[in-house]
Structure 1
Amino acid sequence: MNRIRDVRTRSAVAVGALLAGLVGGAAVGAPSAIAAADPACSRGATIYNKVTNPTSYKYIPYAASNTSNCWLDRGMSNSAVTALQKNLNACYGYKLATDGVYGDLTESALITVQKRVGVTADGDYGRNTRSAMVWANYSLETGSRINCT
């Protein structure tokens, strides 16, 4: 009788671990409820401001649907993440690898910046974080950073 109970207990533990892994895995890469209405950022885009500063550009995360109202979070890997990492380095003093992988260090840096700029510090990048952050302006002529605004 004890042997049957031991087998059942081990089976229940294994099933529980499997379910926990599946449920936990489903949460990775999913946007917050607020960001769910926006598409995922999928590329870094060079944005030119022909009116206020026609000699510079910003490199920011963008979605395939041509909007900067998009989201990024842990586990993603693309040029939009590279754009975020580059800006965290240029304007906030981090030394992140600009490898396009949204891992522990990128998430930690973003949480610190979110606290600094006064938005929800959850490590998820979305329209509120984008609007609150300053972004680097780069020279069209040299490619060097001019300032962060």
Structure 2
Amino acid sequence: MKSLKKKRRIQVIVLALVALAISAGLIGYGFRDGINFYRDPSAVIASPPPPTETFRMGGLVVEGSLVRGQGETITFAVTDNAEVVPVHFTGILPDLFGEGQGMIGTGKYIDGVFEASEILAKHDEEYMPKEVADSLKESGVYVDPNAGTATN
């Protein structure tokens, strides 16, 4: 009788571990498309990701680089004041998108061009996306709108 209970307990534990492993695998599989890592232009140039990888890239839109093509096609360049990456986007840009402004795009780096599928821009005069502000602080060019001085 004792060995039957022990055997049943081991079966339940093994079944629970298998169910836990399957659950973890399904959760990981479900999240694989939803996770987008952030890179600044310097990181993209230094170590280009494979063309199949979707990631987020942000920085400042280079002054004079915004070119509107036919329809909804737009090309521009993004910089972190160390490197510049050309960006190609087809779609409608946010209203506050502009040259010299911070932006974050989601897309793929293909043949030296960031092919953006989504563009996000600041939502007011003083906002800078955290990732962009951090990368610009590292390069020493971020100006804190509240202090009015450059921070490092």
Per the normalisation by structure 1, the TM-score is 0.34
Higher strand share: 2
- Give the structure-2-normalised TM-score: 0.34
Decide which structure has greater helix share.
1
